[in-house]
Amino acid sequence: MKLLVNGTEHEVDAPEDMPLLWALRDLIGLTGTKYGCGLAQCGACTVLVDGQAVRSCRLPVSAAAGKPVTTIEGLSGDASHPVQRAWAELDVVQCGYCQSGQIMAAAALLRTKPKPTDADIDAAMNGNLCRCGTYQRIRAAAHRAAELAQAK
Amino acid sequence: MNAVVDPSRRQFLKSSATLAAGLTIALALPIAVRRALAQEGAPAKPPAVDPNAFVHIGSDDSVTVLLKHSEMGQGVWTTLPLVLAEELDCDWSHVRVEHAPAAPAYAHTAFGLQMTGGSTSTWESYAQMRRAGAMARAMLVAAAAQRWQVAPSECRVDKGVISHGEKRLRFGEVAEAAARLPAPSEVTLKDAKAFGLIGKGARRLDTPAKISGRAEFGLDVKRPNQFIATVARAPVFGAKLKSFDAAKAKAVPGVVEVVQVPSGVAVIARHTWAAIQGREALVTDWDLGPGAGLSSAQLLQDYRKLAATPGAVAKSAGDAASKLKGGAVVSAEYHVPFLAHAPMEPLNCTVEIGKDGCDIWTGTQFQGVDQMAAAQILGLKPEQVRLHTTFLGGGFGRRANPASDFVAEAVHVAKAAGKTVKVVWTREDDVHGGYYRPMWLSSLRATLGKDGLPTAWHHTLVGQSIIAGTPFAAAMIKDGIDATSVEGAANSPYLDAIADHRVELHSPTSPVTVLWWRSVGHSHTAFVVESFIDELARAAKQDPLAYRRALLAKHPAHLAVLNLAAEKFGWGKPLPKGHAAGLAVHESFGSIVAEVAEVSVKDGRPRVHRVVCAVDCGSVVNPDGVVAQMESGIVYGLSAALHGAITLKDGRVEQSNFHDYPALRLADMPRVEVHLAPSGRAMGGAGEPGTPPIAPAVGNALAALTGQRLRSLPFRLA
């Protein structure tokens, strides 16, 4: 089947029930999207499908076929997306493993809510776990990203 | 300095016997002494440092720091290069970082083997990094001076440019010549007043890779002709494999092989999904053994009975027993469950066995041990095992296993399959996989004097030893006391104010494997001691802050931190209706941390609104890094205090993934304020000390709010 990832078409030989996550990581070689739980409980695998944040560990690859998929590698070529810039400015990351998912979730949020409140951020990103506990900076960086996006 | 000497070719520790001997010597010194020795001023004989092992200057002026410690979120990727760059006087923007290979040059200066843990990285390598930077600088200057035919002492260095009068040479222009010079035996280190980087800090150097998906974690490693494996492991601790039927597993498209290994049965596949599905189809039959009878409820009963009997004495002064016979005794029993570390990146390890040795890619905290374990399995010399450390998607102690479980297993799988294999653990494997923070029971009794302060104190702890049965046992278990079991309890500063006190320990064994979990023994002792002190304050009808101040009168460093946290919080000032505050102060890993938590209860569940934290970690290299570690330690401890429990029933672990082993989420994140209070004490750690005080601070706040004293974790209000 054909997958459209970050603007590039990939022909993948995958069973239909293979989660999109493993197709991205193992078949296409885009390892920025992470495996954390396999149950849509942690958000490490968050990607955009048709602009919506989805947990790629539970989405069968067949359901994503033909739809535009954006992964962390495709968010911007040079880490210039406002969310990435805000994350860098506030030194959000620690181990960094969950941050691809956090950044994709924040990017999806800003598409629908350019000026999110704390409550908006909590609601949109509560599904993204961080065991290093970077939540306080995530919240601050989501606000900062909104500012950076406005200033553009 | 292009000609970096390959440290892996150097003299190696010859055997695990030598390793154990080295460890014994290193560990025989108390940690506080080692901490002091590792830092400036103290050592009469500075450690031998080969600058080539730690820094490589390219002809393009790049400064590549070889990092001996594992970056797992704690920030050593930035902190240690800051220390080296301070003395090197390079251009900070030219600094790159790589994990060092596994080699003797990178042995921990206090523990004697290459490892990251115990909140030691910054202080243990501080002198070493400074000397490496200063030596490299001296060699670069010598090369430039030689070219100019001037005295090195007349040269200046600023941001990677060496100058003499009008003459200028960049580091990159003399790097090759400098590499041919001998490393100087004597170097002068900067006066602290001249520091431009240490104490000021810098933004994290790993951020660009980690916000773009480029950072390579162990799970991202891809080798040519690599296969993915999952392993069907014992369903019950200590169970033995009887038989297996691989037919259905092999029928799963993508599965290529099924092999038996000591830990179970490995399903090897072309991709992860097939490896997961193949394992689901695999049929295994196990002899469950005595582990099938284990349950947390029964363990608790057993521990309770043990607590009523005399244990090994960890600390004793006066005659607590007779003092506790008469009068009003305050008594309490505390309990904490097993805990899984649950780092975001599940365990994994990639192994490629070649003709001349073996290559391993993994995120480990224990290079020295893992390399030795792999060598032993394969019949290789340690230096034939080339261990490549990737970024760690969290460690928290789980990736520092004396048994090398996830590395040894992957080596067995690759060996049995004759293939390059990455063994991948699912989240369920991680939660079921043991090596937990042990379950603990504490029984305490105290009497109070007329002034309300305790006059006698008896504390009995019951829980599995982490160190027993490991190569560390000889050095770290003395007279039946595993130092990590009672740390924070036997050496509590409160005991200094209580004339008659006794701390006893029981170390029962069980098939459940246990390991250090962020803050190790302090993860339970701080909860117990700081909660019980709070109980005593309430029994004496005294303010918990004033009560602690009285008990800590002879501990000015503790007092300073406690007072700072209380002041910044506004202790005693009115809080919103339905809110209450609690506090705790605890020293661990050379640092003292006080935390004040503000809580409320909503729908019968505790809510934490705000945490004010004060920390004295001696001196600080990277202030925002310390702040980040306090935030991190608080969240890790809150997850455990509010949610974390691994329980056993009929030998099975009852939890499996984040839905039933939850962690703190964004919406429940309190506002955290961190105040640094550096004191000039010897440098302590930052990775773990933020964790211990949060559970008691929250529990004490809940007691103040509801009157309910919650003596077991996670907190469940009646």
Asked if B345 and A95 come within 8 Å (Cβ–Cβ), the reply is yes
- Our CA-based measurement puts residue B339 at a distance from the nearest CA of chain A, in whole angstroms, of 14
* Cα radius of gyration rounded to whole Å, chain B: 27
Dist. CA B181–CA B386, nearest whole Å: 28
The whole-chain average pLDDT of chain B stands at: 93
Low-confidence stretches of chain A (pLDDT < 70) are 152
b or e along B665-701 (b: 16 or more beta carbons within 10 Å of the residue's beta carbon)?
bbebbbebbbbbbeeebbbbbbbbbbbbbbbbbbbbb
Looking at the DSSP bridge assignments, the partners of residue A10 are A3
pLDDT beyond 50 at B550: yes
Mean pLDDT of B137-145: 97
Record the tokens describing residue A77, joined without a space. 């070529």
> In chain A, what are the helix, strand and coil shares in percent, each to the nearest 5?
40, 15, 45
Q: How confident is the model at residue B12 (pLDDT cuts 50, 70, 90)?
A: very low
* Chain A residues with beta carbon closer than 8 angstroms to that of B663: 129, 131
Q: Are B689 and B588 in contact (CB under 8 A)?
A: yes
- Position B2 scores a pLDDT of 41
Q: Could you tell me how many residues make up chain B?
A: 718
CB contact under 8 A, B666 and A121: yes
Residue B15: predicted pLDDT: 33
For residues B81-109, average pLDDT: 97
pLDDT digits (tens, 9 = 90+) for B552-598: 999 999 999 999 999 999 999 999 999 999 999 999 999 999 999 99
- Closest CB to A26 among B272, B342, B657: B272
- Please compute the mean of the pLDDT values over residues B266-270 and round it to a whole number: 98
CB atoms within 10 A of CB B28: 12
Kindly determine whether residue B666 and residue A33, on different chains, have CB atoms separated by under 8 Å: no
> Is B299:B439 a contact under the CB 8 Å cutoff?
yes
Please, what's the b/e burial string for B522-533 (b: 16 or more CB within 10 A of its CB; e: otherwise)?
Answer: bbbbbbbbbbbb
Distance from CA of B702 to the nearest CA of A (A): 22
Q: How confident is the model over B653-706, as pLDDT tens digits?
A: 999 999 999 999 999 999 999 999 989 899 999 999 999 999 999 999 999 999
Q: How many whole angstroms separate alpha carbon B465 and alpha carbon B483?
A: 9
- Facing residue for A41 by CB, picked from B345, B392, B659: B659
Quickly state the pLDDT bin for B38 (edges 50, 70, 90): low
CB contact under 8 A, B658 and A15: no
For residue B281 the two structure tokens come to 């189809």
Task: Say if the Cβ atoms of B657 and A39 lie within 8 Å.
Answer: yes
Would you call B634 an interface residue with chain A, using a CB distance cutoff of 8 Å? yes
List B332's β-bridge partners, or say none: B444
Of A19, A30, A88, the CB nearest to B207: A88
**Helix-, strand-, coil-residue percentages of chain B, each rounded to 5:** 35, 25, 40
What's the pTM? Answer: 0.95
Strand partners, B287: B240
Find chain A residues with C-beta within 8 A of B222's C-beta. 29, 31
Residue A76, burial from CB neighbour count under 10 angstroms (0-12, 13-18, 19+): middle
Are residues B503 and B459 in contact, defined by beta-carbon separation less than 8 angstroms?
yes
The tokens describing B683, both together, are 């440098």
- Per-residue model confidence (pLDDT) at position B5: 35
> What are the tokens at B427?
């989240």
Q: Which among B203, B206, B271 has CB closest to A26?
A: B271
A93 touches chain B (CB under 8 A): yes
Residue B570: how many CB atoms within 10 A of its CB?
13
Rounded to an integer, what distance in angstroms lies between the CA atom of residue B169 and that of residue B167? Answer: 7
Instruction: Determine the pLDDT at residue B680.
Output: 87
B597's enclosing H/E stretch is: strand B591-602
Q: Which residues of B touch A73 (CB under 8 A)?
A: 212-214
Question: Six-digit token pair at B239?
Answer: 């169970």
pLDDT of residue B28 exceeding 80, the answer is no
Per-residue pLDDT tens over the stretch B414-449: 999 999 999 999 999 999 999 999 999 999 999 999
CATH of domain A2-72: 3.10.20.30
CATH superfamily membership of A82-151: [2Fe-2S]-binding domain (1.10.150.120)
* Amino acid identity for residue B174 in this structure: V
Are B343 and A33 within 8 A, CB to CB?
no
Question: Is the Cβ–Cβ distance between B2 and B63 less than 8 Å?
Answer: no
Band of pLDDT at residue B475, cut at 50, 70 and 90: confident
Q: Is B671 helix (H, G, I), strand (E, B) or coil?
A: strand
Q: How many CA atoms lie within 13 A of B184 on its CB side?
A: 19
Which residue blocks in B434-502 are alpha helix, DSSP H? 473-476, 483-486
B689 touching A, CB under 8 A? no
% residues pLDDT > 90 (chain B): 90
Q: Within 13 A of B64's CA, how many CA atoms are on the CB side?
A: 16
pLDDT given at position B660: 98
The whole-number pLDDT of residue B9 equals: 31
Contact B273 A26 (CB under 8 A): yes
Q: Where are the alpha helices (DSSP H) in B623-683?
A: 623-642
* Under 8 Å between Cβ of B349 and B422: yes
User: Which residues in chain A are contacts of B73 at CB distance < 8 A?
Assistant: 93-96, 132
- Does residue B499 carry a pLDDT above 60? yes
DSSP state string for B322-348: HHTTSS-EEEEEEEE-BB----SS--E
Q: Is the pLDDT of residue B713 over 80?
A: yes
Order of all β-strands in the sheet with B167-170: B156-158, B161-164, B167-170
* Residue with the two structure tokens 């720091």: B65
Burial of B243 (0-12, 13-18, 19+ CB in 10 A): exposed
Query: Quick check: B634 and A133 CB within 8 A?
Result: yes
CATH 3.10.20.30 in chain A, residue ranges: 2-72
Q: Could you report the per-residue pLDDT of B189-231, keeping only the tens digit for each?
A: 999 999 999 999 999 999 999 999 999 999 999 999 999 999 9
Q: So what's the pLDDT on residue B630? A: 98
Chain B positions touching A134 (Cβ under 8 A) are 628, 631-632
Q: What is the structure's pLDDT at B39?
A: 55
Q: By three-state DSSP, how is residue B419 classified?
A: coil
B44 confidence band (pLDDT: 50, 70, 90): very low
User: To which H or E segment does residue A69 belong?
Assistant: strand A68-70
Residue of B nearest to A32 (CA): B213
Give the chain B residue whose CA is nearest to the CA of A92. B207
pLDDT score for B60 = 96
Name chain B contacts of A97, Cβ cutoff 8 Å. Answer: 217, 343-345, 391, 393-394
For B622-660, letters b (16+ CB in 10 Å) and e give bebbbbbbbbbbbbbbbbbbbbbbbbbeebbbbbbbbee
Cα–Cα separations (whole angstroms), residue B172 to B63, B65, B96, B432: 9, 15, 14, 51
**DSSP strand E in B452-526: where?**
454-463, 477-478, 481-482, 500-506
CB spacing of A132 vs B212 below 8 angstroms: no
Mind listing the domains of chain B with CATH numbers?
7-208 (3.30.365.10), 218-289+347-424 (3.30.365.10), 296-339+435-706 (3.30.365.10)
DSSP string, B178-225: HHTSPPPS--PPPPGGG-SSTTT----TTHHHHTTT---BGGG---TT
Mean pLDDT over residues B356-378, rounded? 97
Q: What is the pLDDT of residues B516-527, one digit of tens each?
A: 999 999 999 999
Residue B246 backbone zone (phi > 0: left; psi -120 to 50: alpha; other: beta): alpha
Nearest CA to B133 among B95, B104, B163, B76? Answer: B95
CA angle at B252 for the pair B247 and B257, rounded to the nearest 5°: 60
- Show residues of chain A in contact with B343, CB under 8 Å: 95, 97, 131
pLDDT of residue B471: 86
CA triplet B718, B583, B458: central angle to 5 degrees? 75
Q: Which of residues 216-255 of B touch A (CB under 8 A)?
A: 216-217, 219-220, 222, 228, 253-254
Q: Is B177 on the interface with A (CB under 8 A)?
A: no
pLDDT digits (tens, 9 = 90+) for B272-304: 999 999 999 999 999 999 999 999 999 999 999
Q: What's the start-to-end Cα distance of chain A, in Å?
A: 38
Determine the pLDDT at residue B32. 58
